Structure 1
């Protein structure tokens, strides 16, 4: 088991990792964060709205399912949002340099970190 900060530090060891945060989607506040390249406070609040909108849309469509992750592909970056199955209302926000990272390996690392994180 790993603390929030240990989990974030683990994510940042991946090739191309720029920053990561654990975010409370009820408030948009970060529970922990590290890295550079993105204003994490602004990103945490903004991506909270992305997660909320997707959950609302799923409810409207009557989808009885869960979000594994949300991928936002920019010209130079990947932004991954992963709601935590073990802690409702909390998600991991993970930013990668598109030219330096392997998306499949990053998603796998995100899954592993999710399994080990403790609150």
Structure 2
């Protein structure tokens, strides 16, 4: 089992990683952040993505959809933003946001690695 710092460090080893954040869905606040650039603050991106995750949960509820969100992908011209809600009971209401350089990242591998990291995260 990995703690938050170890999980965030592991996420930053994913090819193309620009930044990562662990986010509280209720407040939109980041519980941990690593990486980023002068033009890209993972905490700001994470706070903005909170509204998206909330909206998806509301939509699923309105539609009566069963199951859980595995991940949400936002594709931008130069980046991928990969959002992964935590599935463990101790992680309820939390999600990871991984920001990737689109030119350097392998999306399939990044999704798989983030899934493994999320599964090992112990809060």
TM over 0.5: same fold?
A: yes
Please report the RMSD computed on the Cα atoms of aligned residues, expressed in angstroms: 0.8
1:47 aligned residue: 49
Of 16-25 and 37-46, more deviation after overlay is shown by 37-46
| Contact 2:33/2:43 (<8 A) preserved | no
User: Aligned with 2:67: secondary structure?
Assistant: coil
Output the TM-score relative to the length of structure 2.
0.94
**CA deviation after TM superposition for structure 1 residue 42, in Å:** 1.8
The structure 2 residue matched to 1:85, chosen from 84, 87, 103, is 87
1:14 aligned residue: 14
The structure 2 residue matched to 1:98, chosen from 88, 98, 102, is 102
Output aligned runs, 1:48-87, within 5 Å: 48-86=50-88, 87=91
Q: Paired residues, what number?
A: 119
Unaligned runs of 5+ in 1: none
Deviations 1:62-104 (A, max 9, x none): 1011100000000000000000011211000000000001000
2:5 aligned residue: 5
Output the TM-score relative to the length of structure 1.
0.97
User: Aligned with 1:94: secondary structure?
Assistant: strand
User: Aligned with 1:93: secondary structure?
Assistant: strand
